Amino acid sequence: MIPLRTLQKLAREQGMPLFVVDHRELRRNYAEFKKHLPRVQAYYAVKANSDPMIVKTLFKAGASFDVASMPEFQIVHQYISDFPAKTRQDYIWDKIIYANPIKAVETLQELDRYKPLVTYDNSEEIRKIRKYAPHAGLLLRLKVPNTGAMVELSSKFGAPPGEAANLIEEAFEAGLTVEGISFHVGSQTTNFENYVQALNLSAGIFKEVWDRGYEQVKILDIGGGFPAPYDQTVKPFRDLARILNGEFERLFPRHIEILAEPGRFLVATAGTLVAKVIGKAVRDGKQCYYINDGVYHTFSGIIFDHCQYHVKAFKKGATQICSVFGPTCDALDTISLAEELPDLELGDLVYSENIGAYSHASSTWFNGFPPAKVLHVNM
């Protein structure tokens, strides 16, 4: 983490709220992922934080990218455009997967010229891809257990495993090429059994489609869900990697190419917010503080991501349980009703760690309040 004294200095110089992105931490997280999962190519989930400077750092580190919209595609594509034209198309295939299973017709039309790798999970999507993006390579997205995940995804996406082989065969019969299988165990998954079950389901489907003669299906995309260390209850990444590597070795021949879509794991710990106390009051006997950032801004993950970010004070002293609110007029703009804080005065600074994922990416201008200023350090 960036030293607290440095954070205070930066905030005083740059103004607040200030969202600080530590690129040394980004590189460290990517290196840890590659160290513990050497067989897996990491496709950073751009939606976790689409700041172009973050994408650039991970691109230089060797990451590929999971995009789910054309604006995200273009953020990544600007770096690929520096490659010679004769290699650019193949490089897009290696560097970008469009992993949103449901795509608008206009999106497919725009994607087709890049011959992209895309996901699908139903027959209607096969018909759309055949008509509007016939040059795409396909991955079938499976519905797998999301038990215990902070954000459950299986109710929205994923083909039932019992229909998977038929959907793969249907795509081939439509003249398309299915490259492999994908799944997602849910965001911030601390229940590692989800991965074990999903990998076993995938292995069975590979065998079924190979028995039907489709031996060219050889990519496994294990999605995201890799948990960020928000607190001490989250087991170390190396423990999950040990389980995954064992299942890879047991279930999948070496010719199977394995991808993953880490987002939160790569960027969460790289972001720190510094904000300022702009108001205080005692309500029903409880100390309340108002700061100049909230759930419509950097703390948006409280609403959209079901994540709680703790507010900490730079000031030392005896603490009490306090409420912390954002700056807008909406009562929804509640950051926490139970933060341990010392006695703070107007103008005092507070900070929140591990707030790099699904936070600033969802900031708005609600009520006229702008998002936090972004500062990149250790570039």
Which residues are annotated as catalytic? 329
Tokens encoding 20: 């600080």
Cβ contacts of 223 within 8 Å, gap of 6 or more:
99, 182, 183, 184, 185, 260, 261
What is the DSSP code (8-state) at residue 372? P
Residue type, 307: C
What is the DSSP code (8-state) at residue 132? H
Residue with tokens 């198309």: 89
Tokens encoding 100: 């949103």
Q: Which long-range contacts (CB under 8 A, 24 or more apart) does 56-63 make?
A: 57/23, 57/26, 57/27, 57/379, 58/26, 58/30, 58/266, 59/95, 61/26, 61/27, 61/30, 61/31, 62/30, 62/34, 63/30, 63/266
CA distances from 184 to 98, 160, 259, 345, 347 (A): 14, 13, 12, 45, 43
